[in-house]
Amino acid sequence: MKIVVIGGTGLVGAKTVKILRAAGHEALAAAPSTGVDALTGAGLAQALAGAEVVLDLSNSPSFADQAVLDFFQTSGRNLLAAETVAGVRHHVALSVVGTEGLQASGYFRGKLAQERLIKTAGIPYTIVHCTQFFEFLDSIANAAATDGTVHLPPAYVQPIASDDVAALVADIALAPPANGTVEIAGPERLRLSELVARHLDATRDPRRVVSDVDAPYFGARLAEGSLVPSGPSPRLGAIAFDTWFRAQPARA
């Protein structure tokens, strides 16, 4: 089966393409660096010709409020219009657990706009709500840092390794469309401020973490359960944080 992976050169995208190809599928890694740009529409029609499934694993190069909104709205519209012409039978997109409740954040307004376009496009779909990737912990720390101190709330997180995300989204892409949202998460529930403190300590990062219930997370205030699955049966990855961390190359 031909499966187009938009963002197929990214962290999760490249791993997903590999898994789909190993399973015998024709998986096309579509990204600006391979000549397919969902923002301008360049190369989209050719990439989608004959595709049955599209997996959107792209991300905005800028996290500035307007840039994220423009990215997900424009690329979403272009992509869904091209999929309609190509007769795509399943659109799968990776979004974030808790998106609806985090609308004080520009990034999550962009993700919600993306989800709304998918729900009204008329193409059978599955939206995958995923928790934070282990690989995203540095970005979380950097976004919350001021003067050598990282301010984060002690809200619960259930982070996941990108290898587990890729395996789960590949599986979801091969299943019938849910025409709804499915949740995926990691195997352990931890507190965000404690996890980031552990991560900084393990990477010998001298920044101190201050746990503060009012500290924003990418512009949004978190309730205790904002970032963990809300449904009764999320699909879980197998890789625990310590196992993942031990497998990472040592930092200089």
Ligand X SMILES: NC(=O)c1ccc[n+]([C@@H]2O[C@H](COP(=O)([O-])OP(=O)(O)OC[C@H]3O[C@@H](n4cnc5c(N)ncnc54)[C@H](OP(=O)(O)O)[C@@H]3O)[C@@H](O)[C@H]2O)c1
Kindly list the residues in this chain that would bind ligand X in the complex (CB under 6 A). Answer: 6-7, 9-13, 31-33, 37-39, 57-59, 61, 75, 94, 96, 111, 130, 132-133, 136
Task: Find, among 132, 122, 39, 126, the residue nearest to 78 by Cα.
Answer: 39
| Beta carbon nearer to ligand X, 178 or 206 | 178
Q: For residue 249, what are the contacts with CB-CB under 8 A and spacing of at least 6?
A: none
Instruction: Copy the structure tokens of residue 52.
Output: 């049955």
| Beta carbon nearer to ligand X, 190 or 206 | 190
Bridge partner residues of 191 (DSSP): 156
Q: Tell me which residue has tokens 């050169």.
A: 9
| Beta carbon nearer to ligand X, 191 or 206 | 191
Q: How far is the CB of 35 from ligand X (least distance, A)?
A: 9
DSSP H or E stretch at residue 62: none
Q: How far is the CB of 208 from ligand X (least distance, A)?
A: 23
Cα 102 → chain centroid? 15
Q: How far is the CB of 12 from ligand X (least distance, A)?
A: 4
| Beta carbon nearer to ligand X, 9 or 84 | 9
Residues 236, 251: Cα–Cα separation, whole Å: 28
Give the residue at shortest CB distance from ligand X. 10
Q: How far is the CB of 141 from ligand X (least distance, A)?
A: 13
Q: How far is the CB of 71 from ligand X (least distance, A)?
A: 7
The backbone torsions φ and ψ at residue 160, rounded to the nearest 5 degrees and listed phi first, read -140, 145
Instruction: Copy the structure tokens of residue 199.
Output: 């991560």
| Beta carbon nearer to ligand X, 132 or 193 | 132
Contact yes or no for 134/162 (Cβ under 8 A)? yes
